[in-house]
């Protein structure tokens, strides 16, 4: 059995990777925002989001599916917020 300290060290590594990937995603969102602004495309594309959620969660079982979709919603909301902020500049 892993010790609590071992679990926490592993979680720290995962959290660091999640942070790195989140920041990388937000950089790409900056490019997406610029493209959408230049081409008059709306920030929110419900069909794209629905397809993305279906693709990423189709292999998950409850309760992980619901938890993952909540996590994904948080990321998508942050992405839309950043796009909105960048569009105003």
Q: Mind listing the pLDDT tens digit for each residue in 8-37?
A: 999 999 999 999 999 999 999 999 999 999
* Percent of the chain whose predicted confidence (pLDDT) is above 70: 100
Number of H helices, E strands in the chain: 3, 0
Closest CA to 15 of 23, 66, 61, 56: 23
Measured distance CA(37)–CA(56) in Å, rounded: 27
Residue 51 confidence (pLDDT) above 80: yes
State the CATH number of the domain containing residue 32.
Answer: 1.20.59.10
Range of the domain at 38: 4-88
Token readout for 5 is 């300290």
Kindly report the pTM of this predicted structure.
0.91
| Angle, helix 64-88 to helix 46-57, in steps of 10 degrees | 150
pLDDT at residue 88 greater than cutoff 90: no
What is the percent of the chain with per-residue pLDDT over 90, rounded to a whole number? 97
Ramachandran region, residue 42 (left: φ > 0; alpha: ψ -120 to 50; beta: rest): beta
């Amino acid at each position: 059995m892993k010790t609590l300290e071992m679990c926490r060290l592993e979680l720290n590594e995962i959290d660091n990777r999640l942070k790195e990937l989140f920041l990388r995603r937000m950089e790409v969102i900056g490019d997406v925002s610029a493209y959408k602004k230049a081409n008059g495309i709306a920030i929110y594309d419900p069909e794209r989001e629905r397809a993305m959620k279906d693709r990423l969660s189709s292999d998950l079982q409850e309760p992980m599916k619901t938890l993952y979709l909540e996590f994904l919603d948080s990321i998508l909301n942050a992405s839309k917020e950043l796009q909105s902020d960048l569009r105003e500049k």
